[in-house]
Amino acid sequence: MAPVRLALAQTNPVVGDISGNLDAIFTQVKLAAAERADIVLFGEMALSGYPIEDLAQRASFLETCEKAVQDFAGRLQDSGLGNICVVLGHPAPAPSDAQNGWAIAQNCASILMDGEVIGKYAKHHLPNYSVFDEYRIFVPGSESLNFTVNGLNFAVLICEDIWQAGGPVASLKDTDTDVAVVLNGSPFEVGKYQTRVDLVTQLAKEAGCGVVYVNLVGGQDDLVFDGSSLVADGKGNLVLEVQSFSESRDVIEIESATKIVASNSRKTVTPDDNAQVWNALVVGLRDYVNKNGFPSVILGLSGGIDSAVCAAIAVDAIGANRVFGVSLPSMYSSDHSKSDAFDLAERLGVQIRTEAIAAMVDVTEKQLGLDGVAAENLQARVRGLILMALSNAEGHLTLTTGNKTELAVGYSTIYGDSVGGYAPIKDVPKMLVWQLARWRNEQAIREGKRPPIPENSIEKPPSAELRPGQLDQDSLPEYDLLDRILAAYIDDRLGRDQIIALGIAAETVDRIISLVDRAEWKRRQGAIGPKISGMAFGRDRRMPITNKFKQH
Amino acid sequence: MAPVRLALAQTNPVVGDISGNLDAIFTQVKLAAAERADIVLFGEMALSGYPIEDLAQRASFLETCEKAVQDFAGRLQDSGLGNICVVLGHPAPAPSDAQNGWAIAQNCASILMDGEVIGKYAKHHLPNYSVFDEYRIFVPGSESLNFTVNGLNFAVLICEDIWQAGGPVASLKDTDTDVAVVLNGSPFEVGKYQTRVDLVTQLAKEAGCGVVYVNLVGGQDDLVFDGSSLVADGKGNLVLEVQSFSESRDVIEIESATKIVASNSRKTVTPDDNAQVWNALVVGLRDYVNKNGFPSVILGLSGGIDSAVCAAIAVDAIGANRVFGVSLPSMYSSDHSKSDAFDLAERLGVQIRTEAIAAMVDVTEKQLGLDGVAAENLQARVRGLILMALSNAEGHLTLTTGNKTELAVGYSTIYGDSVGGYAPIKDVPKMLVWQLARWRNEQAIREGKRPPIPENSIEKPPSAELRPGQLDQDSLPEYDLLDRILAAYIDDRLGRDQIIALGIAAETVDRIISLVDRAEWKRRQGAIGPKISGMAFGRDRRMPITNKFKQH
């Protein structure tokens, strides 16, 4: 029997754009046909985009998806592509006796061939932790699905199914599966790639079958799918590692469970964590901007490191001509904050204009008789008001440049520096912001280009510049200590006593925990931004605002 | 055998305030002892408050709760209250072999007696729909729990357990249960009370046992627990209906499953929906303010109906001396908007001051050269900036006065009229705002008082007054039509074609759906406010921002 040629299609769907996504899928099938593929495999929910959240609770949405899958089988047939076996992820209405009024959908993969849907699999294991709410919206499947091509036996699984021991994974041996095809919507997190490689190779070895792992790619709101699709043969050898963060199509040739080769034996060098994170931030921003139809972005450039990094990400994402910077100096702004902002803009090639805030601040301060924190917040709010006015007038998406450390301790002014629809470094702690800035500059040097971020923005002590001589470290611990405490409290979910046991002063720990808890109401009103860590603010960490728990 | 005297303690815990909640619980037990109670029954999670959200994922929190329950049993014993059987809801660590790294807790009820925890029940059915995320954070229980007092057999159940057919409800007959005690954390929704009455009486009749349903009371972030505890005897007769929206303690006497009487046979008249909703809004605001330690609230008074209703709710909730109004007129403000605002303040007895926005608007408009929508938004943002400045300077919580209709279609300025930590009427559609205003005025008349809301604020056509002669209906359908479309689309989750089939013009339906979808990013950054409907914005309706689905 001829070996089976299987194409892994790593696509970037837009949530809800059924016809647009199908056009892209059709193109992939056509190209794969030209590459003599027998099977084309797409990611989880490639038809609808992922995650669809409560769209899954809308019957009209599910019916549209169901019909689209049926129609698409016909379209393939009519285009002479009916002999290819297409494995496509999509939402579908659950069987009516399994619906419960809230969960009326299933997370499915359909096998399309000869103009028909010849098989449909519903995901068994529904993740309902971290950013996932699948038990909320989906009815779990209970049947396994195998199909045969050229005498080889393929099993279908979806994402979480291979992360849980029981269920479909357990039945791979019983069904004499040669190759498991796994449709995934697995969002990027630092370090997750190696976890996936270990999981896939381990599964292949234990089940004695090939494992083809196809992931989505692209940004969807606060998630970034990194692609990084994988193939392991039945001995647990890694046969193919697809590139991260871009659409692609790779063909493998399968002779048997243990004999799988990548025709185009590309094996990308796994880039380091800094590169991975930078790419995630770039793709997250690019897709939020483009999928939502914004022509351009605007952001305040303070001369500080956060806005510099955000601007550099934006330029890498959508090009300098779509990025607009604004210098918003006050009477407290140092000369270097203005010159560093202009230096940055020049290096990046982005437009920058100056809008001094003094006139607005003065008239407000006088009318209301403000001083102290109220007057400091006023400066930040006038800046926010200017950015939003320019956004309204000129159509830009406003970016807010706060980092994870700032958001954690509430070191920002709500409706001030927090204004904007997207927060590019919201999940990036301050120490990592510096590290990424240095990495990005070194990367430029490696490419023989000018480093985009002014050295001065990286090296100078951080300051909000809301009063004369103010420094962040007047009111916060040193950032390396602060980020350690926050990682312990937020990412590792340690209690107060456990953090103190790491060797950190009790009063510092208490103060930081109190700041984090008290800032919950501000975070709840913050812009979304790309998750890169194991515990991002937002739907990943759901804490009450009203919360009097005293940590210990 | 003497009849069993059971006290239903309807308490208002604060999430996380373990020692404060326990003090209140202790007081209830002491008072119940004086009333010769044998059993005191508290609501779901009365120890910790509810919902605890991802606090349940913190081991230090769970250990604190577990230890607090143990210690409390000793405290009761030491205080001579060891002979009373206390049934207390609390979170606890799940058995270690049942933990999965995300869900490490259980939602429990413990039986405290003679200084010890003599039994512990873990909730079987975990709601994971609407505002509930319990499958995310809890491990389900699998054992039933019965205990005996004076020869009567009591079963313990928790909330969702009685809403699902299988599991503990099914075993009530097998265990010869005389009385099922049910601990609840059931948030208010319009119409839900009757659903609960039907459920409880039906269950009592079918299982042939008494059902004692104790609910929490009070506001927690975006939820309001209405209390409204209930007792039904084993024939399905309603024996006791406890008052809504306030703490209380009621004692019933149980001779047998079918012979249950309320000692103090109070049976409150069920108030109408308007009163229920008003009370929910009042309690929600009061508890958010008080549990978070705010001395006072501040809000803009425009002379319009929304701010008038919010101010009246605030005064009912925390008293006129803690409510501060600000009139923020522009050059487009009509005379009546100013005079109506002052009329309202006078009726309510709240402080009001005037801060004209002209000076700030002028200087900004000129510097940035704004016109059109950007200039309109600027006015709203200057108002927001003033309110936040006064909030910072004087310590008030800022209230934002947008209604559900406005939030649905995005008819508001983000960082403008949307600023604030709490949104009292966020889940109240515009038509209901008017209805509540009229009801509240009639209520005042019934009580021989002056109606709090100026007739003019109710009767005049609504306007944002951002340009000369502007009316809401210039850009939106009439509110009665608009609210019908929104109820169909949001609450009933109908598709476009289904809404058109209700007899509404296709182009109107399309426009409104598009407005709702496009405003998702603004809603995501909005303040929390009390849920009163079956589908509130916020964690009740989780929609993607990036969403290109075309409804049909």
Rounded to whole angstroms, the Cα distance separating A542 from A536 reads: 10
Q: Is A520 a catalytic residue?
A: no
Catalytic site includes residue A53: no
Which residues, listed in sequence order, are joined to residue B119 by a DSSP beta bridge? B111
pLDDT of A552 higher than 90: no
Residue A267: its pLDDT value, please?
Answer: 59
Q: Which residue of B has its CA nearest to A499?
A: B60
pLDDT in tens, A116-128: 999 999 999 999 9
| Residue A509 lies inside a defined structural domain of this protein | no
Instruction: List, for residues A165-218, the tens digit of each pLDDT value.
Output: 888 999 999 999 999 999 999 999 999 999 999 999 999 999 999 999 999 999
Segment B534-538 long-range contacts (CB within 8 Å, at least 24 positions apart): B534/B130, B534/B189, B534/B190, B534/B191, B534/B491, B535/B490, B535/B491, B535/B493, B536/B131, B536/B222, B536/B404, B536/B426, B536/B427, B537/B404, B537/B407, B537/B408, B537/B426, B537/B427, B538/B131, B538/B222
Q: Give kind and range of the element (H or E) at residue A153.
A: strand A152-158
pLDDT at A231 (0 to 100): 97
Cβ proximity of B126 and B134 under 8 Å: yes
Residue A539: closest C-alpha in chain B? B539
Mean pLDDT along residues B129-144:
97
For residue A47, give the chain B residue with the closest CA.
B549
Dump the DSSP string for B380-445. HHHHHHHHHHHHHHH-PEEB----HHHHHHT-S-TTTTT-SSB-TTTT--HHHHHHHHHHHHHHHH
CB contact under 8 A, A546 and B103: no
Residue A231 and residue A238 in contact, taking contact as beta carbons nearer than 8 Å = yes
Helices (H), A447-493: 455-459, 472-475, 479-486
Which tens digits make up the pLDDT trace of B493-538? 999 999 999 999 999 999 999 999 999 999 999 999 999 999 999 9
- Rounded mean pLDDT of A246-270? 85
**Buried-exposed string B374-395: b where 16+ CB fall within 10 A, e elsewhere:** bbbbbbbbbbbbbbbbbbbbee
Q: What is the pLDDT of residue A263?
A: 73
For B535, the token pair is 């589908």
Residues in chain B: 552
3-state SS string for B308-353? HHHHHHHHHHHCHHHEEEEECCCCCCCHHHHHHHHHHHHHHCCEEE
Comparing CB atoms, the residue among B59, B393, B494 nearest residue A370 is B393
Residue A269 has pLDDT above 80, yes or no: no
Last residue of a domain, one of B205, B240, B265: B265
pLDDT in tens, A448-502: 999 999 999 999 999 988 888 889 888 899 999 999 999 999 999 999 999 999 9
Kindly report the nearest CA distance between residue B375 and chain A, in angstroms. 8
Which residues does chain A have within 8 Å of residue B419's beta carbon, measured at their own beta carbons?
Answer: 414-415
Name the band, by pLDDT with cuts 50, 70 and 90, for residue A15: very high
Q: Taking CB atoms and an 8 Å cutoff, what residues of chain B touch A550?
A: 16
Do A216 and A298 have their domain in common? no
pLDDT at B464 over 90: no
* Residue pair B432/B533 in contact by the 8 Å Cβ criterion: no
The parent domain of residue A455 ranges over 276-472
Q: Which residues of A touch B497 (CB under 8 A)?
A: 60
Q: What is the mean pLDDT of residues B460-470?
A: 89
Residues B226, B215 contacting (CB under 8 angstroms): yes
Residues in B touching A101 (Cβ below 8 Å): 129
On whether the CB atoms of residues B509 and B500 are closer than 8 A, the answer is yes
Alpha-helical regions (H) of B447-529: 455-459, 479-486, 496-500, 506-518, 520-524
In the structure, what pLDDT confidence band is assigned to residue B552 with cuts at 50, 70 and 90?
low
Helix (H, G, I), strand (E, B) or coil at A194: helix
pLDDT for B336: 87
With 60 as the cut, is the pLDDT of residue B265 above it?
no
Find the residue in B nearest to A55 (Cα): B543
Q: A326, A534, A348, A544: which is closest to A440 by C-alpha? A: A348
Question: Known catalytic residue: B209?
Answer: no
pLDDT of residue A551: 73
CATH of the domain at B18: 3.60.110.10
pLDDT tier at B266, thresholds 50, 70, 90: low
When pLDDT is cut at 50, 70 and 90, the band that residue B401 belongs to is very high
Residue A494 in tokens: 């340690």
Mean pLDDT of the region B420-447: 98
pLDDT at B394 over 90: yes
The torsion angles phi and psi of A109, rounded to 5 degrees, stand at -130, 125
pLDDT number for residue B263: 73
| Exposure letters B541-552 (e unless 16+ CB within 10 A, then b) | bbbbbbbbbebe
pLDDT for residue A71 is more than 90: yes
Q: Are A18 and B374 within 8 A, CB to CB?
A: no
Question: Nearest residue on chain A to B130, judged by CA atoms?
Answer: A102
Domain assignment present for residue A208? The answer is yes
Q: Which residue has the tokens 């063909």?
A: A251
What proportion of chain A, given as a percentage, has pLDDT over 70? 99
Which helix (H) or strand (E) is B74 found in, with range?
A: helix B59-78
Nearest CB to B291 within list A373, A389, A546 = A546
Same domain, B60 and B92: yes
* Total structural domains within chain B: 2
Across the strands, what pairs with B106?
Answer: B92
Identify the domain boundary among B472, B492, B517. B472
CA distance B207 to chain A (A): 24
Last residue of a domain, one of A414, A449, A472: A472
Q: Looking at the structure, tell me whether residues A235 and A283 fall in a common domain.
A: no
Distance from CA of B363 to the nearest CA of A (A): 6
Question: Contact at 8 Å (CB) between B334 and B465?
Answer: yes
- Mean pLDDT for A53-64 is 97
pLDDT of residue A268: 60
- Residue B264 clears pLDDT 80, i.e. is over it: no
- Give B290-322 pLDDT, tens digit per residue: 999 999 999 999 999 999 999 999 999 999 999
Closest chain A C-alpha to B209 CA, distance in angstroms: 27
**Contacting residues for A103 by C-beta, under 8 A, at least 6 apart:** A56, A57, A94, A135, A136, A137, A138, A139, B129
pLDDT value at residue B268: 60
Residue B537 in any domain: the answer is no
Q: Based on the domain organization, do B54 and B8 belong to the same domain?
A: yes
Q: What does pLDDT average to over chain A? A: 96
- Alpha-helix residue ranges (DSSP H) falling in A301-371: 305-318, 335-348, 358-368
The minimum CA-CA distance between A383 and chain B, rounded to whole Å, is 11
CB nearest B389 (choices: A52, A360, A378) = A378
Half-sphere exposure of B342 (CA within 13 A, CB side): 7
CA–CA gap between residue B203 and residue A121 (Å, rounded): 38
Nearest CB neighbour to B368, from listed A15, A386, A525: A386
Least CB-CB distance to B525: which of A57, A393, A527?
A527
Out of B85, B108, B159, B310, pick the active-site residue.
Answer: B159
A395 → chain B, closest CA residue: B374
Q: Per the CB < 8 Å rule, is B135 touching A130?
A: no
* SS3 state at B488: helix
In angstroms, the CA B421 to CA B397 distance is 7
In a domain, B468, yes or no: yes
Cα separation, B495 vs B502, in Å, equals: 11
Minimal CA separation from B451 to chain A, in Å: 33
Q: Does residue A35 lie within any of the structural domains?
A: yes
Looking at beta carbons, which residues of chain B come within 8 Å of A521?
Answer: 421, 528
Confirm if B274 and B435 have CB atoms less than 8 A apart. Answer: yes
| pLDDT of A362 | 96
What is the structure's pLDDT at A166? 85
Q: Residue B410: give its domain's CATH number.
A: 3.40.50.620
Measure the CA–CA gap between A409 and B396, rounded to whole angstroms. Answer: 21
Contact check, Cβ <8 Å, B496/A545: no
Task: For residues A8 and A156, state if they share a domain.
Answer: yes
A212 belongs to a structural domain:
yes
A414 and A285 both lie in a single domain: yes
Contact A415 B385 (CB under 8 A): yes
pLDDT band, residue A100 (cuts 50/70/90): confident
Q: Is A42 part of any domain?
A: yes
Radius of gyration of chain B (CA): 26
Q: Do A241 and A291 have their domain in common?
A: no
Of the residues B44, B241, B253, B465, only one is catalytic, namely B44
The answer to whether residue B34 scores a pLDDT higher than 80 is yes
Helix (H) or strand (E) holding A154: strand A152-158
Same structural domain for residues B257 and B285?
no
Chain pair A-B, CB pairs under 8 angstroms = 227
B259 and B280 housed in the same domain: no
Burial class (CB in 10 A: 0-12, 13-18, 19+), B190: middle
Contact A432, A438 (CB under 8 A): no
Would you call A544 and B377 a contact, using CB atoms and an 8 Å cutoff?
no
* Nearest neighbour of B378 by CB, restricted to A15, A220, A389: A389
Q: Do A495 and B392 touch (CB under 8 A)?
A: no
Question: Residue A270: what pLDDT?
Answer: 64
Q: Which string of DSSP letters, residue by residue, matches B122-137?
A: E-S----STT--HHHH
Is the confidence at residue B48, as pLDDT, over 70? yes
Confidence of residue B344 (pLDDT cuts 50, 70, 90): very high
B257 and B292 assigned to the same domain = no
Answer yes or no: do B281 and B195 share one domain: no
What band does B269 get if pLDDT is binned at 50, 70 and 90?
low
User: Backbone dihedral region of A211: left (phi > 0), alpha (psi from -120 to 50 degrees) or beta?
Assistant: beta
User: Is residue B23 located within the same domain as residue B46?
Assistant: yes
Decide if A363 and B368 are in contact by the 8 Å CB cutoff: no
The answer to whether residue A483 is domain-embedded is no
Q: How confident is the model at residue B465 (pLDDT cuts 50, 70, 90)?
A: confident
Please work out, in degrees rounded to the nearest 5, the angle formed at the alpha carbon of residue A157 by the alpha carbons of A152 and A159.
Answer: 140
